[in-house]
């Protein structure tokens, strides 16, 4: 009997990550769901295993803490789980000018969006390479292509994700393992905006359904691309950057994002 295919999704307790988990469960893959909210993860696990007849395990972990990724790796190792697909989706943003970001928020965002993501790849990739199969999907953002005033730190963390992924994609070529990033524009998910204090009414560009990210991952799995843009609009936004001075690109990005200042509490 073939061993089950294991997919680990971080940020699976809500939003885009939970949609990605559902998509892989519908294909019969066993899942490990990672986030902090254990109750939410357990609810999603129960729904997915009842709906799709797959094994779903819950690993409640704070990826903002040093050692978080190591504990996730140990969770899998102790249960004999070889992770065949790693989807790094956990992440968050804080809206408002850079100087309004509290030092703790700055540190937390760097840990979750960058350090933990890189550590997860560092921990799980060697096993995939040894087995000659596997995929790493890193969820970056359209914001990774330029600094976005009002989302400066967030855009910088997502740039880290995209740049690191591009490099690793090349490094693992020929190993049987694929590593790629998905760069969505704004996605319809109030939870994300509420958490970041971003007033979505001020966003001046189309907001897509979470399904576009799921479809972009499917496209990425079928191609050799290092970076996958979910929509035509996303691709156009990146293309038009070549036609404008950099300062105009950055200014327009800030204008379209409308994240300049936090909502009043
Ligand atoms: N929504 C958008 O417009 C958009 C656009 C482009 C890219 N993205 C990216 O897509 C990803 C998912 O975003 P989303 O819209 O689905 O946001 P969301 O609904 O707020 O979900 C974020 C997920 O990350 C998890 N997470 C946050 N901090 C964590 C921590 N310290 N430890 C472990 N897990 C943590 C959350 O779980 P817990 O709170 O339970 O820990 C949750 O499952 C993020 O990387 C985001 O940057 C979003």
Q: Where are the domains of the chain?
A: 6-257
> What pLDDT, on the 0 to 100 scale, is given for residue 4?
83
pLDDT at 253 over 60: yes
Active site residue 193: no
Residues with CB under 6 A from ligand 1: 11-17, 35-37, 40, 62-64, 89-92, 112, 139, 141, 184, 186-187, 189, 191-192, 195
Angle at 38 between CA 212 and CA 68, to 5 degrees: 85
What span, in angstroms and rounded, lies between the C-alpha atoms of 60 and 90? 12
Which whole number is the average pLDDT over 164-168? 98
Residue-wise pLDDT tens digits, 11-57: 999 999 999 999 999 999 999 999 999 999 999 999 999 999 999 99
> What pLDDT, on the 0 to 100 scale, is given for residue 147?
98
State which ligand 1 atom lies nearest to the alpha carbon of 40. 40
Q: How confident is the model at residue 263 (pLDDT cuts 50, 70, 90)?
A: low
Residue-wise pLDDT tens digits, 67-105: 999 999 999 999 999 999 999 999 999 999 999 999 999
CATH number of 6-257: 3.40.50.720
Instruction: Quote the ligand 1 centre to 2 CA distance (angstroms).
Output: 33
Residue-wise pLDDT tens digits, 172-228: 999 999 999 999 999 999 999 999 999 999 999 999 999 999 999 999 999 999 999
pLDDT at 150 over 70: yes
What span, in angstroms and rounded, lies between the C-alpha atoms of 215 and 211? 6
């Amino acid at each position: 009997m073939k061993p089950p295919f294991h997919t680990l999704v971080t940020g699976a307790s809500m939003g885009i990550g939970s949609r990605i988990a559902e998509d892989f469960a519908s294909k019969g893959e066993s899942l490990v769901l990672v986030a902090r909210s254990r109750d939410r993860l357990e609810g999603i696990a129960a729904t997915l295993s009842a709906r799709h007849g797959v094994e779903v395990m819950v690993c409640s972990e704070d990826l903002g803490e040093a050692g978080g990724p190591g504990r996730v790796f140990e969770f899998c190792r102790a249960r004999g789980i070889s992770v065949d697909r790693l989807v790094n989706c956990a992440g968050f943003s804080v809206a408002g000018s850079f100087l309004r970001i509290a030092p703790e928020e700055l540190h937390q965002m760097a840990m979750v969006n960058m350090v933990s993501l890189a550590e997860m790849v560092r921990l799980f990739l060697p096993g995939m390479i040894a087995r000659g199969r596997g995929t790493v999907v890193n969820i970056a953002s359209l914001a990774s292509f330029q600094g976005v005033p009002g989302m400066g730190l967030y855009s910088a963390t997502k740039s880290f994700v995209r740049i690191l992924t591009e490099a690793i994609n090349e490094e693992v070529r020929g190993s049987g393992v694929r590593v790629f990033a998905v760069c969505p524009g704004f996605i319809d998910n109030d939870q994300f905006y509420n958490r970041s204090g971003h007033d979505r009414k001020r966003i001046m560009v189309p907001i897509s359904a979470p399904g576009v990210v799921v479809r972009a991952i499917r496209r990425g799995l079928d191609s050799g691309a290092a970076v996958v843009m979910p929509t035509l609009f996303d691709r156009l936004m990146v293309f038009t950057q070549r036609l404008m001075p950099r300062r105009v690109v950055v200014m327009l990005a800030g204008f379209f994002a409308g994240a300049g200042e936090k909502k009043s509490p």
